Structure 1
Amino acid sequence: MTKTKNGLLAILLVLTGNVFAQNDAKITLKKDRAMMINEMNQIERTFKTTKKISREAMMELTDLNRKIEGQERYVTSMSRQEPPVFTTEEMQDATREITRIKRTVETLRNYYYHPESIPKDKNTAAARPAAPAPAYTPPARTYPVLPPQQHATFPVSNAALTGDFGLYRGQIPYPLEKGTVIQGFGRFKIEGSGPEIMGDNPGCTFSAPVNSAVKAVFEGDVISISKMGSTFYIVVRHGRYFTAYSNLASSTVTKGSRVKAGQVIGTVGRDDETGYGKLDFILMFDDKNLDPQAWFVH
């Protein structure tokens, strides 16, 4: 009887610890978003006074964009855990704040690249005080003509790719026919003329031609399709394993559909920072992130 009680107590402590850890993570994420909103508001206030975006402000906006994209990926991966980590209300609040930050950052970045699009002061002589100011729509981002990138063709898997995902370590196909891994799994540091940027990549990031096909790496069920801004985020379940595909320009599947290995599920979206195509790919076992490159066919 004593052993049974001790065992039940140990299970209870583990479950309680997980709940506390999840709550701590949610609190940290919310605090991080509040800090990002505060920083974004300061840049916006300065812009309203000076009517321009300085180079320093642009560097801060680039850093904010990296942070919010990282949180967006993390929140989406947490949202599909069972039992759910977020309540419906918490997910709606997080999505609303993330979308607000991304849209404002994108608008301010567009002002930096296209200062001619900055709305004119309504108090100038050229303004028409009798007519309401039209709602401002940020102009479509234009990119310079970029030199073509050379991408290697990824090896093809000859495995059956059915049944237990866990049996195919080292045999999983790449989600792209051609591409380049530009950021691997885990901790990374970006150095440059601006402040040093640290991060933790939950998967791996590919550079690939814009609008090229993105394929499911294994048979499974589409359990989530999210749209953040102008891009899509798709999560496919393979038993206890999950794969996620982020920064998609389009989606060709629906939530609840069954997909086969190699089936096209979307297309590569553009990276606003470089103008080239980018795909973020995440692999998880239950709630643990795995290094995808250890699972891809060699």
Structure 2
Amino acid sequence: MIKLRLIKFIAFLVFASLCAVVAQSVYGQDSKTQLQNKKAKIEEEINYTNKLLDETKKSKQVSLNQLVLLNKQISKRQELIAAINGEINNLDHQIEETNDTINHLTSTIKKLKEEYARMIYYASKNRNAYSRLMFIFSADDFNQAYQRLKYFQQYSSYRQNQVRVIKENQLLLNSKINLLEKQKSYKLSLKRTEESEKQKLTSEKNIQDKTVKSLSQKEKDLLKKLRESERAARKLQKAIEDLIAEEIRKASEAAKKSGTKPAAENKFGLTPAEIKLSSNFAGNKGRLPWPTERGIISSTFGEHPHPVLRGIKTKNNGIDITTGKGESARAIFDGEVTSTMVLPNYNNVVIIRHGEFLTVYSNLDQLFVKKGDKVTTKQRIGIIQADDSGKTKLHFELWQGKNIQNPESWILQSR
């Protein structure tokens, strides 16, 4: 008779094969999708940075902005190469798993065929109908005869099922062999792409070196512009601090007139509506939209070494977003325009209050809002100024009361 342990063993082989294939497929597809999405995002940023670089190249003079964009481009190119490497490593893992699956399926099919061959051999020796009948009728009682009859029926069904299982595993094996060929072909394509990106990176680094050397010859001019920028930044910071102090003073006076308890020292006196607005703003930390529809962060928050002048650091109270000519600045949340002003190096500046939060949009040309206007999320507030070198840059700051915040912690990581 067919032994139960043999049936269980073959069922286990089939089940194990299917589980291995499904697990590999799900894991591999998820990892591949994530890596491809990351690579596509980096490629999009590189293409956009290229566009911005082309705009700056229209000016015959080598500018610091060109170097900043080039540095950004190199950084993104390195990220892309790392992402491609990650995809290749993931693919190597998938190829290894596919090979293991192929070996496992080959072994399973071999065992199934060997077992099927033994069954065929047994059947050929006992195919005489008379012998089968004699085997049944020679039973000691009716129950044993019935069991022998059932055995022949189950044996025939099992043989048919064995053929089906072998065919299914063979189809699975063929599909895995095809998949392996595709994986190897895709890996070869990735390696070629990686080599191409490395060549581009080398070329960009050569241009970077030449740009730094060219700008180093203009050290005095760069230092002069840096000092001008620092003075302008201090003026902007003072203007914001004065505005905050004035808002706090007004709130304190209003509290005295109404006989209500004044706000804590150095705090805005917020109405219930402003408290709700502040809470909503804070609740969207990390999810607020960018102040531009498109662009790249060309200067981050905090202190950084100057890209050309050795031993000198620059400080940024916000972030600088370089974008295309004609692009607009937009409000990142509902609020009210509390001030518009003109400052050296920053051109038109718009300050929007969102309860206890302030957002500052600098280097605007044409304004679409004025003091007292209510604005909504993503509403256009002005066109960003473009200078003679082709640079279109928005300087953006975010304050919570008197405390300067890092805007990158508040806005979406990608648009």
TM-score by length of 1: 0.52
* Maintained 8 Å contact 2:330/2:381: yes
* 1:254 equivalenced with 2:381 (yes/no): no
In 2, the alpha carbon distance for the partners of 1:217 and 1:294 equals: 13
Question: Aligned runs of 1:3-22 on 2, under 5 Å?
Answer: none
In the TM superposition, structure 1's runs of 4+ consecutive aligned residues that sit over 6 Å from their partners are none
Q: Which amino acid aligns with 1:227?
A: V
Instruction: Select the residue among 146, 171, 175 that pairs with 2:287.
Output: 171
Could you report, residue by residue, the CA deviation over 1:215-238 in whole angstroms, capped at 9, with x for unpaired residues? 000000000100125820110000
In 1, the alpha carbon distance for the partners of 2:394 and 2:298 equals: 10
Q: CA deviation at 1:69?
A: 2.4
Q: 1:295 to 1:209 in 2, by over 3 A?
A: same
Q: CA deviation at 1:165?
A: 0.8
* 1:75 equivalenced with 2:238 (yes/no): yes
Show the counterpart of 1:279: 394
The answer for unaligned runs of 5 or more in structure 1 is 1-53, 87-160
Q: CA deviation at 1:210?
A: 2.5
Q: In structure 2, the residue corresponding to 1:199 is in which secondary structure?
A: strand
In 1, the alpha carbon distance for the partners of 2:234 and 2:278 equals: 32
Question: Aligned runs of 1:1-298 on 2, under 5 Å?
Answer: 55=218, 57-83=220-246, 164-192=280-308, 194-229=309-344, 231-271=347-387, 274-298=389-413
In 2, the alpha carbon distance for the partners of 1:212 and 1:183 equals: 18
* Maintained 8 Å contact 1:79/1:85: no
Pick the structure with greater CA Rg.
2
In 2, the alpha carbon distance for the partners of 1:242 and 1:190 equals: 28
In 2, the alpha carbon distance for the partners of 1:203 and 1:254 equals: 23
Q: Which amino acid aligns with 1:249?
A: D
In 2, the alpha carbon distance for the partners of 1:211 and 1:79 equals: 31
The answer for unaligned runs of 5 or more in structure 2 is 1-216, 250-276
Structure number with higher strand proportion: 1
* Maintained 8 Å contact 1:182/1:205: yes
Q: Which amino acid aligns with 2:243?
A: R
In 2, the alpha carbon distance for the partners of 1:245 and 1:196 equals: 30
Could you report, residue by residue, the CA deviation over 1:159-183 in whole angstroms, capped at 9, with x for unpaired residues? xx99721111111000111100011
Q: CA deviation at 1:247?
A: 0.7
Q: CA deviation at 1:250?
A: 1.7
Show the counterpart of 2:75: none
* Maintained 8 Å contact 1:162/1:219: no
Structure number with higher helix proportion: 2
In 1, the alpha carbon distance for the partners of 2:220 and 2:303 equals: 26
* Maintained 8 Å contact 2:340/2:371: yes
Q: In structure 2, the residue corresponding to 1:237 is in which secondary structure?
A: strand
Show the counterpart of 1:114: none
How many residue pairs align between the two structures? 169
